[in-house]
């Protein structure tokens, strides 16, 4: 930096790290937590330097580094995980992204820095999550193995980001259902579109089968049949998502309240990962339609179903136990 207030911009591989459960550790023993931060600094600074990395910022237990190449960033992150796992309570999550860093008066800014921190939240404890940009840089090197995780709409991020896990060197991959990531909340207009879509699905796609049959079991079975025919051959998703879709088919095929609720929950969870997918919306609509038929005449259960849909739309990461 040449002058005070001058902004320096540079393209780099950005690494963001965070200590797992540090808040809980701090609440139990603040002195031990501070000692852990000191130990982290003592261990990691020499490693970052050995890969020509730049130690940019410390934010409590979080650290921010940058590297001139994606390869060096990934190799450094792998070594960090191998070293720190030998120390009690020093379990890290690491996220890596490539983009612009803005530096002014020794402070760090930039949308890509924010993205790196969001990607870190997708990592498993002791694991490494990377963006599609980093994955593209290392994909031709056979020593790296990666696995696609998800394409979340991160809160405060306009870019489309695909997230991968590095799984070579015995690095763990996360359980997607356990991730606590900050997803952009639905806007009010999306709320109305959401329920409008469900209404359209019910009235247009299923009206003939719903109201031409007087047998409730036949009606709910027809929902399952329509769902199975429409989605069982889907090839637009990862295998994990296709497995979840097949589970929803199975639940709808059982035509009972408990199974329907499971279908409803799983459909909403899929929507949280990618709200642009029309078939996820349709699955949710089909679940809602079946619940309507199964609960016909039971206002309390219908109220519970509507309450769930409203709450889950406001909070895409809602837990099914709520």
| Structural domain spans, the chain | 8-178, 188-314
Q: 316: pLDDT confidence band, cut at 50, 70 and 90?
A: very low
State which H helix or E strand residue 131 sits in: strand 128-131
CA–CA dist 122, 169 (Å, integer): 19
* Residue among 240, 277, 247, 242 nearest 264 (CA): 247
* Residue among 102, 127, 131, 135 nearest 118 (CA): 131
- More confident: 263 or 49: 49
Q: What is the mean pLDDT of the chain?
A: 75
What integer pLDDT is reported at residue 246 of this predicted model? 76
Classify domain 8-178 by CATH architecture: 2-Layer Sandwich (3.30)
What value does the mean pLDDT take over residues 219-226?
49
Q: Which residue has the tokens 């060096």?
A: 72
Indicate the pTM of the whole model.
0.57
In this structure, are strands 128-131 and 163-166 parallel, antiparallel, or unpaired? antiparallel
What value does the mean pLDDT take over residues 174-186?
64
Output the CA angle 57-40-166, nearest 5 degrees: 80
* Residue among 236, 217, 225 nearest 294 (CA): 217
DSSP character at residue 55: E
What value does the mean pLDDT take over residues 273-301?
59
Cβ within 8 Å of residue 144, ≥6 positions away: 74, 138, 166, 168
In terms of residues, how long is the chain?
Answer: 322
């Amino acid at each position: 930096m040449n002058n005070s207030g001058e902004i320096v911009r540079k393209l780099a591989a950005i690494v963001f790290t965070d200590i797992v459960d540090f808040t809980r550790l701090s609440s139990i023993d603040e002195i031990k937590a501070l000692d852990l931060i000191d130990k982290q600094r003592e261990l990691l600074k020499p490693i970052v330097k050995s890969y020509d990395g730049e130690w940019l910022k410390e934010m409590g237990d979080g650290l921010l580094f940058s590297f001139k190449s994606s390869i060096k960033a990934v190799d450094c992150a792998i070594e960090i995980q191998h070293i720190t796992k030998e120390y009690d309570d020093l379990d890290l999550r690491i996220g890596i992204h490539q983009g612009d860093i803005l530096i002014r008066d020794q402070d760090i800014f930039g949308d890509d820095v924010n993205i790196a921190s969001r990607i870190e939240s997708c990592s498993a404890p002791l694991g490494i999550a990377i963006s599609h940009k980093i994955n593209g840089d290392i994909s031709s090197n056979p020593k790296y193995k990666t696995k696609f995780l998800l394409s979340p709409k991160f809160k405060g991020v306009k870019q489309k980001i695909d997230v991968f896990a590095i799984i070579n060197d015995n690095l763990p991959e996360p359980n997607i259902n356990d991730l606590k990531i900050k997803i952009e909340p639905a806007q009010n207009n999306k709320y109305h579109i959401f329920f409008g879509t469900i209404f359209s699905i019910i009235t247009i796609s299923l009206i003939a089968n719903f109201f031409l049959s007087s047998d409730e079991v036949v009606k709910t079975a027809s929902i399952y049949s329509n769902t199975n025919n429409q989605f069982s051959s889907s090839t637009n998703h990862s295998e994990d998502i296709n497995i979840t879709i097949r589970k929803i088919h199975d639940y709808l095929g059982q035509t009972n309240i408990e199974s329907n609720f499971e279908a409803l929950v799983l459909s909403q969870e899929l929507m949280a990962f990618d709200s642009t997918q029309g078939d996820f919306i349709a699955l949710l609509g089909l679940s809602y339609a079946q619940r309507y038929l199964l609960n016909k005449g039971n206002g309390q259960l219908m109220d519970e179903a509507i309450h769930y849909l409203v709450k889950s739309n406001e909070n895409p990461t809602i837990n099914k136990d709520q």
